[in-house]
Every structure is written in C-alpha cells, then in structure tokens.
Structure 1
C-alpha cells in the first residue's frame, strides 16, 4: 500500500493511494462500518492493523459511493511520517558519491542525526537559511522502522522495516562545514521533506534495487541506483540496532548518490536559490517535489 497524510480542517488525515484516487480512510471507515487506524502513528504502532486497511481499500473500491475518494491533485499533503522518533542519517554511503567528494569509502557507516523540526511535505515551499548561500539537495531512500529492533541480525533486519519513502536530505554546506560536526547545516527548519507516500515493504521488494534521481528545474542531476550503496539497507538497520534501540516511526536516511552540487568542480557550483524546484524520484515510491524561497 501507499499510505499518505493530507490536511483537512487544520488536521492531518490518513489516506491511501488507489486507482480511483486517494481513499479518505476516516470517511471510508464510517461508511463501511470498519475499525481501522486513522493515523500513520497508530498504523506503525500496530502492524497487525495493516490488514484492516487492506480490507478497507478492497471494500472501498467495490462501493458505489465515490465521495470517499479525493483527487490527489487537489489535496494538501502532510509528511509521509508526520511525527518520527529518531531521524538517523548515513553519510558517504554511495561509492560514486564518495569518489566525487574525494573521500575514502567508510569502513563503518557514518551516522549523524536530524530532528523533527526538519520534517516537511511534498509540495511544501522550504525556506533557505538567511545566513547560508550554499544550499544543496540530496536524493535519498528513507527507511521507516515498524517494529522494535535491538541487536537484530543482517539476515532478519528488513523484517523490522515497515516501509520506505522518498527523502531530500537538504544541506547548507557552508553551515555544515563551519565546524567538524555536520549537524548545523543538516538541521535547518524544513530540511527533511519526505513523501509523498509511505510505501509498505511488501510493495517495494528489494530496497537495494531501486532507481533514484534528483531533478532540479527539469534537469536530471542525480541518476543512480540504490545498488551503489556501500552499506545496504539490511546492514544499516542491523548496525544501528547494535548500538541503539530502533522503534516504530524511526527514520533512517540511507545516503545520497553522486551528482550533488558539492561534488561539482568549485567553479561550476550553482547552489539552490529562491524559485528553484527539486524533485526526488525513486522507483516504486513516486515523486517528491519542493520549491524554495529565501529567508530574510
């Protein structure tokens, strides 16, 4: 399934993408008299309720009342995971990206974190910091944890994953490298747009065989495959779980491929500016698009 959130009456509602449009979960459940989760958080806390959502979709598609379906073009999206727990990111996790950055392949996953203030949605306009002039995009596959994971094996690690979504690990490079710690340039408001969908693991299959792109103002800048990861998704989940407990709703950003602005020759770097539009496309996960304005 492709789950999503949308805004209605100043609240976030749960939706499911279908061939008829976005199924309004709350309204469909009332019409069909079915008990289902009404939020991403409730679904993540109890994966057994996913089956109830599948039944809702099946019965909703068969029902004659099409008012329970919304036009995706007309909804205002919320984040695919509105209230994540931990946001853990992996740096230099694509071989060609490490090469373009003139950095050696890491021996262990390079981990850093972001915070929930960075979370934003598909179609949001994101503010570029007033004191930064070097803002960069990073197309990334995000893992969404669905079960408590502590010291899980590589072989079992993906069993703890609920699903995946597109992410853009936006980075203010001048702030990022102001000190040896990257946090400042990674944690500006809105700097982790995710979505538009949270796609369940069963629909994605192998997360390390997905095409991944970043498109800036119509120009393809990043064009790779998650197979180029240094540390694969199952290795990342297992490694992190050795050192900290992962919980439902935790996000793991798995790194970005080559083609970021920072990887270009210095004289060719043109960083993001007001009015730019960036789309992150990942096979089976849809397209995440954001525009930018300059903070003053």
Structure 2
C-alpha cells in the first residue's frame, strides 16, 4: 500500500492510493477510530486498511489534495549523519564505531509538492536525499534480528540543511531545524511491498541535474543496526521516523558550492518508493509582525 497524509477543502485526513489511481480517504471512512495515519499505525490496522481499500473506488483525485508530511507530527525524527562512505570522506570526518544521530522537529518538514523555504538568516540551504524508515511497532532495545518487524514502511526525505548554521558548533541541531527546510513524502510504501534488505537506488536531482546517486547497500550502518542503536536509548513508537543518511554529492562540498535557490526544483527519487518533489522559495517576512 501507498499511505499518505493530506489536506482537502481545509480538512486534514489520510488515505491510500487506490489500485486505479486516486485517493481512498481512510480518515473519512474510519472517523474517530483512526483520525490520523499515525493512529492507524499504533493500532496495527494494516489488514483492516487493506480490506477497506480493496472494496472502494477512489474518493479524490491526487491533483485535488495538498500533500502533508507522511507523518505530520511524529513523536521523534532521528537523523543519521555521515552514513555513506563517500559523504563521510567529502565532509572530512573520521570513521566512527557508532551512528551519528541528531534530531529534527515536526515544524521543520513539509510534504510533497510543498515549498522548501530558504530562511532569511542564510542562503546556504543544501539538499540531502535520504531513505526514511517509519516505525510501525513499538520497542526498546530491539535486536537487529527483530528490527525489520518494527518497520511500517518507507518514504523519501530531503534532509535540507542550512549549512552556515549547522557549522556554528559541533552540534548540528540549529542548521537542521529551520521551519520548512526538510521534505517528507510523497507517501509511505508499506514494508510488505519491499523485501527486507532489498537494495534500493537513491537519486537526488536539482533542476533536472543529477547531484547524488547511491544504493542503500552503500550505507555504513544498515537499517537493522540503526533501529537497534536508536532503540537502545529511546523507546521507538509507531510513527517515529529514522532518516538513514545521505550519499556523497551534497552541495556545500562542490566547487563552487551548489545550494538550493528560490525557483529551483529538487527531487529525491527512491526505487520502488517514489519521487519526492519540492520547489524552493525565499522566506517571506512581515516586517510589522512582532513575535
């Protein structure tokens, strides 16, 4: 299944892409039982969702909705840095025995076809195409051998980075959490659609030009080890997101550097998952507004 969160006519909902295209509005069908995709994951309702989807025609054309982040308000977004050797080398970072993990906030992300925003504080907004894992079953201190069973599915992510702010200190949080600088979508492809451990290609394009290309087998720390490591210090719950790292080819290490500029189109395509597309805009500030 391809599950997504969306807005239509001012109403926030979630659903599934039907076999003939279009969206089956599962939020409207399930009502208070499962008001969000996250709540459906918490209830492990995949069998019920499959039955509902197979019995209905689409309720909405895809072109009529506004895509939200796949999980609009995850409890946790864990990001893995330097998880591809080419990116570790280009970033001039030493090898480590453990994943480098930082966090993103929900307000830092937008959905498919929504605008990524270059903040007024810095023009250095860089792309980072990544495979996102969405957790479907809670767990703490998960063994690597059990890790696959805790996955609900996969999505594409652009872990946009404001490089100047990322380099202010050794901690990356500030450069990774400007509002609307990361993108998550278009949808969640459920785990049953992709064999555990399958090698998936990842490509990032900026204005149609290929900037990154790798496969998931090039990760330094694989998916089971990332889930096991993260769950050692935090209980993972349904809807949590783990970003598995970006390959080499990021913009700030190119000569000259290449950043996402207003008017650009950036795409993150992951084999068997989908293509996440976003336009880039400059932040609009109301000078009379006082916060």
Structure with greater proportional helix content: 1
Correspondence for 1:84: 74
Correspondence for 1:225: 215
- SS at 2:185 equivalent: coil
Correspondence for 1:140: 130
Whether the 8 Å contact between 1:105 and 1:230 is mirrored in structure 2 is no
How far apart are 1:250 and its partner, in Å? 0.8
Correspondence for 2:55: 59
Correspondence for 1:192: 182
Q: Any residues of structure 2 matched to 1:75-154 within 5 Å, and which?
A: 75-154=65-144
**RMSD (CA atoms):** 1.9
**Residue 20 (str. 1) matches residue 20 (str. 2):** yes
What is the CA–CA distance in structure 2 between the aligned matches of 1:132 and 1:84, rounded to whole Å?
27
Greater Cα shift, 71-80 or 178-187: 71-80
What is the CA–CA distance in structure 2 between the aligned matches of 1:140 and 1:115, rounded to whole Å?
16
How far apart are 1:164 and its partner, in Å? 1.1
Closer/same/farther in 2, CA of residues 27 and 230 from structure 1, 3 Å limit: closer
- SS at 1:21 equivalent: coil
Closer/same/farther in 2, CA of residues 16 and 36 from structure 1, 3 Å limit: farther
Give the alignment partner of residue 270 of structure 1, picking from 247, 258, 277. Answer: 258
Whether the 8 Å contact between 2:22 and 2:60 is mirrored in structure 1 is yes
Q: Provide, for residues 170-216 of structure 1, a one-character-per-residue CA deviation record: whole Å limited to 9, x for no partner.
A: 00101100122111110000122101111111112235511001110
Correspondence for 2:289: none
- SS at 2:50 equivalent: helix
Correspondence for 2:268: 280
**Residue 173 (str. 1) matches residue 163 (str. 2):** yes
Aligned length: 284
Structure 1 stretches lacking a partner, 5+ long = 61-65
TM-score when normalising by structure 1: 0.91
Structure 2 stretches lacking a partner, 5+ long = 285-291
Closer/same/farther in 2, CA of residues 152 and 127 from structure 1, 3 Å limit: same
TM-score when normalising by structure 2: 0.92
Whether the 8 Å contact between 1:118 and 1:188 is mirrored in structure 2 is yes
Deviation >3 Å, runs of 4+: 26-30, 34-38
Closer/same/farther in 2, CA of residues 114 and 127 from structure 1, 3 Å limit: same
